[in-house]
Amino acid sequence: MTTAISIKNLQKTYANGFEALKGISLEVEQGDFFALLGPNGAGKSTTIGVISTLVNKTSGSVEVFGKNVDTHVYETKLDLGVVPQEVNFSQFEKVRDIVMTQAGYYGMPRQLASERCEKYLRKLGLWEKRSEKSRSLSGGMKRRLMIARALVHEPRLLILDEPTAGVDIELRRSMWEFLTEINKNGTTIILTTHYLEEAEQLCRNIAIIDEGNIIENTSMRKLLAELDSQVFILDTAIEIAADFDLGLENASVRKIDEHSVELLVPGGISINQVFSRFDQLGIKIDSMRNKTNRLEQLFLSKLNDNQN
């Protein structure tokens, strides 16, 4: 399988002696949807800055689809689209002009640039705003505009640094659907986010960075399998008795109210076993949700282990 990003022994030390990156190595395969997670100041944005050549590294190497970003600057930029945390376009430019200008940076013929511009503004729900100045857009629309701008040259790799920060839930979900679609169509995506449910929902593989070091690099499935237990909130169609016992070893149930229970499920029991048991007891489940995000539990645990 082709490697989209290959990072080897990447270091970044600032003039004041602060080590933002301490020799990290990381690979992301072509077609992956990859999460890069870490607390503020962990090194996520510095890593993205080095990949996109906006930050000078101290040592190490970065390759994009087999080409070194230092020696093949133009080729790697063609393969790369970056959506930064901060809005960085002119607030006085029109929406369409912002995307068209970006296409011009890549030497795209005007007709093709116009077609691509319309394509991505429509996909991201901005076509009706194309003639408006960007300052009139909501925060969520500005973030979608940055995605359209990053995709106009149709790069093979898209890096998103906190793309849904400050975006309402409905808009965030629509962005998830769009990103899932382009990933299925072949675009490799690297995502940094503080919304851990976002990473769990979208990403297949994950690396956790803390204090300039990669402390975890695995598949999302394997990482979540490390959970010793999960806690769910279940809403039931019938009233639950006060002394309700599920009858599964090491699983415990706490009644919240007449139609809701908190259920602790140990790692050795599948959720299908739980549903089967409820069926046997004649209790219909109307809805189920995690009490806390599963990835959040593991994320905090990994950070705590790294700092101890």
Domains and CATH numbers, the chain: 3-224 (3.40.50.300), 229-307 (3.30.70.1560)
* Other beta carbons less than 10 A from residue 136's beta carbon: 12
- Top-confidence residue, 67 or 224: 67
**Mean pLDDT calculated for residue range 285-303:** 71
Please, which pLDDT band fits residue 227 given cuts at 50, 70 and 90? low
Which range among 91-100, 114-123, 245-254 shows the weakest confidence by mean pLDDT? 245-254
Res 292: pLDDT: 61
User: Model confidence over 38-95: pLDDT tens digits?
Assistant: 888 899 999 999 999 999 999 999 999 999 999 999 999 999 999 998 899 999 999 9
Q: What angle do CA 87, 91, 94 make, to 5 degrees?
A: 115
**More confident site: 62 or 244:** 62
Least confident range from 26-35, 40-49, 184-193, 274-283: namely 274-283
Whole-number pLDDT of residue 224? 75
User: What is the structure's pLDDT at 165?
Assistant: 75
pLDDT-derived band at 268, boundaries 50, 70, 90: low
pLDDT of amino acid 191: 95
Contacts of 186 (CB under 8 A, 6+ apart): 31, 156
Cβ atoms of 200 and 194 closer than 8 Å: no
47-64 per-residue burial string, b: 16 or more CB within 10 A, e: under 16? bbbbbbeebebeebebbb
User: Does position 127 have pLDDT exceeding 70, yes or no?
Assistant: yes
In sequence order, the 6+-apart residues with CB closer than 8 A to the CB of 8 are 25, 60, 61, 62
pLDDT of 269 > 80? The answer is no
115 pLDDT more than 80: yes
Rounded CA separation 99/294 (Å): 38
What stretch of H or E contains 26? strand 19-29
Q: Give yes or no for residue 308 having a pLDDT over 80.
A: no
Q: What is the pLDDT of residue 261?
A: 79
Least reliable range by pLDDT among 25-29, 243-247, 255-259, 261-265? 243-247
Q: Is the pLDDT of residue 234 over 90?
A: no
